[in-house]
Amino acid sequence: MSKDLILSTRVSAEEKEIIERKALESYRTVSNYLRDCALEKRIVSVKGLDEIAAELRRIGNNINQLTRAVNAGQAYEIDLRRTQGRLGDIWQSLNSLTRAVR
């Protein structure tokens, strides 16, 4: 569905802060958050995702660095068993969080 129309409204500074905080907590843009609220869509905020997202970013950065080293010929053999184990731990954490929300 095309979203080419603009709907604007006025809010107080306090209301704006609350809306932005709630949108951020639900991992949505303000537009998506307000649209979902107005259309009575279910909005679920899961506590603990920030830590998991940070860990995934760290792992992604490490994999990028390793890829660069291999492509530059600086490394030929890389053991990713610890990374694989950590990703398994993260997967379990995500499963636990999503089960708690259901």
What does each C-alpha distance from 39 to 23, 33, 46 come to in angstroms? 15, 10, 21
Maximal C-alpha separation, the chain? 58
Work out the number of other CB atoms within 10 angstroms of the CB of residue 94.
Answer: 15
Say yes or no to pLDDT of 99 above 80: no
CB-CB contact of 22 with 11 (8 Å) = no
Q: Map residue 11 onto helix, strand or coil.
A: coil
Q: Which amino acid is at 14?
A: E
List, for residues 74-98, the tens digit of each pLDDT value.
Answer: 887 778 888 888 888 888 887 777 6
Alpha helices per DSSP H over the chain: 13-25, 30-38, 49-71, 81-101
Give the model confidence (pLDDT) of 24-67 as tens digits.
887 788 999 999 999 998 877 777 777 888 888 888 888 888 88
